Structure 1
């Protein structure tokens, strides 16, 4: 039988890491056209897309590392909410039609991480463990 209590922080960490790596990819596509350019994005990037790319790269990196996860995830969640309502929602009501599904999913996963924390395999977890060990000493 699976011990859900034992595996929960590890699965949370896997979700955190994979989601953040996918988020970083979006920032790389905007800034460096890697692994490909985003179709229809003008060059040079408008200021709002440049800010979005920086948030995606820095926020994604912090979330992958599990460093300041709650704050970084909250900011990334907000960026995705703005992206959805500014760029996707005006193209139509249905997310499948306006291509806003990834923005919605990123928004909600990051909002969850802002409340749940980083889980296992994170610098935040190492920092809280060492703080509790110091408090006991």
Structure 2
């Protein structure tokens, strides 16, 4: 019964890619611009650079342009964010607020291997 759904795997992957990238972009905008709410980090700080990476890779991943390298950079950024900003507060992701960073890290790592799916700018 569910075997027929496999035909839609490229489209489902594209939806996952786009939704995750838009959320990632929103995190970057919040860091860099303080929108819709948030504190502005000093320009040139590690949080500011993380926000810039989130904005740029979020856009690239959303449109499916250089998805694999952008996802690799985004995944690594989230791994660093987890270990530098979240893990020192508590070993439990649910307590240290790092669950989103972990999900983004592994979702983007998956995109490195899976590619963009359907509806991407550089689809072959």
Q: Shorter-chain-normalised TM-score: which range? A: over 0.9
More helix by share: 1
* Structure 1 unmatched runs, 5+: 129-137
* Structure 2 unmatched runs, 5+: none
Q: Tell me how far 1:113 sits from its aligned partner.
A: 0.4
Equivalent in the alignment of 2:31: 30
**TM-score, normalization by structure 1:** 0.85
CA deviation digits over 1:101-133, x for unaligned, max 9? 0000000000000110000010121xx1xxxxx
Aligned residue pairs total 123
> CA–CA distance in 2 between the matches of 1:94 and 1:26?
22
Trace 1:50-65 onto structure 2 (pairs within 5 A). 50-65=48-63
Q: Tell me how far 1:46 sits from its aligned partner.
A: 5.5
Structure 1 residue matching 2:87: 3-state secondary structure: helix
> CA–CA distance in 2 between the matches of 1:43 and 1:16?
28
Q: Tell me how far 1:29 sits from its aligned partner.
A: 0.4
Equivalent in the alignment of 1:124: 122
Question: Considering only aligned residues, what root-mean-square deviation do their CA atoms show, in Å?
Answer: 1.3
**Which structure is larger by alpha-carbon Rg, 1 or 2?**
1
Equivalent in the alignment of 1:14: 15
**TM-score, normalization by structure 2:** 0.93
Native 8 Å contact 2:18 2:61 kept in 1: yes
Q: Tell me how far 1:5 sits from its aligned partner.
A: 2.6
Trace 1:21-100 onto structure 2 (pairs within 5 A). 21-37=22-38, 41=39, 43-45=41-43, 47-100=45-98
Native 8 Å contact 2:68 2:111 kept in 1: yes
> CA–CA distance in 1 between the matches of 2:41 and 2:27?
16
Moved segments of 4+, more than 6 Å: none
Structure 1 residue matching 2:122: 3-state secondary structure: helix
